[in-house]
């Protein structure tokens, strides 16, 4: 990626030195489960023969509690480049969606991105590093522990800056869904049954929205074909079938919540090819 390092985005909420804090309530409804958390829940679901993903399909969220901790200036310094990169991507994605939604008559409102270590409260319950990045519609914030990017490269085999950018753009895609009313409609469908199938449609659409943003970066020569390949590789790396194979050695399509590797790549590519919200109607297909 060709990007210009700058200052920290005004939309970043830096809690890396706040410590873990207390549990932010028992509710975890509405959370868009991160990649690491998906793998953990897959393992536990098979062990206990219970679909634990249903815990994330709805329910009240608790109130965040205060947190305290000690600053880690050395680690802050080592992560300074990553913070600048996340800031660049965050601002670029949000600027892009401001323009794209204006063309449809909708008004984009900025989400916040929370940087944390270990754990931090959110309106969807306690955010944990093991959960991976996620978007919480309750407070309209994306939560990321920067250590996840090392995991993305080393554990999931998706290196490169654009693989990281894809993750951020995907989570902000969930924010676009909330603004457009798609998230609420999807939650209603989930309560009416077949929650997993609806969850897959939600996640694939967020992949497609990430592709829509990627289209604009390609047009502005920020990314090239190698970056696009990295984005597709990242999408494939976190497909439900691949994660299930990694965790249990078996694949159970009926338990998919994010979509197969092939489908995640397909919808990212659809967004990249179409470049519009209308390119991403996963619910009618």
For residue 6, being part of any structural domain is answered with no
Q: What angle, 0 to 180 degrees and rounded to 10, lies between the N-to-C axes of helices 225-237 and 161-179? A: 70
For residue 284, being part of any structural domain is answered with no
Average pLDDT for residues 76-97, to the nearest whole number?
91
Whether pLDDT at 116 is above 90: yes
Mean pLDDT of the chain: 82
Helical ranges in 105-181 per DSSP H:
148-154, 161-179
For residue 283, being part of any structural domain is answered with no
Give pLDDT, residue 38. Answer: 56
For residue 260, being part of any structural domain is answered with yes
Model confidence at 7, pLDDT cuts 50, 70, 90, reads confident
Q: Is-contact 139 40, C-beta < 8 A? A: no
For residue 3, being part of any structural domain is answered with no
For residue 252, being part of any structural domain is answered with yes
For residue 181, being part of any structural domain is answered with yes
Greater model confidence, 19 or 68: 19
Count of domains for the chain: 1
For residue 285, being part of any structural domain is answered with no
Domain that holds residue 99: 12-278
């Amino acid at each position: 990626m060709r990007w210009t390092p700058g200052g920290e985005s005004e939309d970043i909420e830096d809690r890396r030195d706040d410590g873990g804090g207390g549990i932010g309530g028992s509710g975890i409804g509405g959370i868009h489960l991160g990649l690491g958390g998906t793998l953990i829940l897959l393992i536990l679901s098979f062990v206990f023969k219970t679909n634990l993903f249903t815990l994330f399909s709805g329910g009240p969220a608790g109130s965040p509690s205060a947190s305290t901790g000690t600053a880690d200036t050395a680690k802050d310094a080592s992560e300074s480049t990553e913070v600048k990169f996340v800031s660049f991507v965050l601002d670029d994605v949000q600027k892009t969606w401001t323009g794209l939604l204006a063309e449809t008559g909708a008004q984009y409102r900025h989400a916040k991105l929370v940087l944390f270590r270990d754990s931090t409260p959110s309106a969807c319950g306690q955010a944990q590093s093991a959960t991976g990045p996620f978007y919480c519609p309750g407070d309209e914030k994306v939560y990321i522990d920067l250590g996840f990017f090392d995991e993305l490269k080393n554990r999931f085999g998706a290196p490169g800056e654009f693989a990281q950018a894809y993750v951020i753009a995907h989570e902000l895609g969930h924010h676009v869904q909330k603004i457009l009313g798609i998230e609420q409609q999807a939650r209603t469908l989930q309560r009416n049954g077949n929650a997993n199938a609806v969850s897959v449609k939600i996640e694939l659409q967020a992949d497609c929205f990430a592709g829509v943003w990627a289209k604009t970066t390609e047009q502005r020569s920020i990314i090239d074909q190698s970056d696009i390949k990295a984005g597709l590789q990242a999408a494939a790396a976190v497909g439900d079938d691949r994660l299930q194979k990694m965790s249990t050695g078996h694949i159970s399509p009926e338990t998919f919540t994010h979509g197969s590797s092939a489908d995640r790549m397909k919808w990212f590519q659809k967004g990249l090819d179409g470049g519009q919200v209308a390119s991403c109607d996963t619910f009618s297909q």
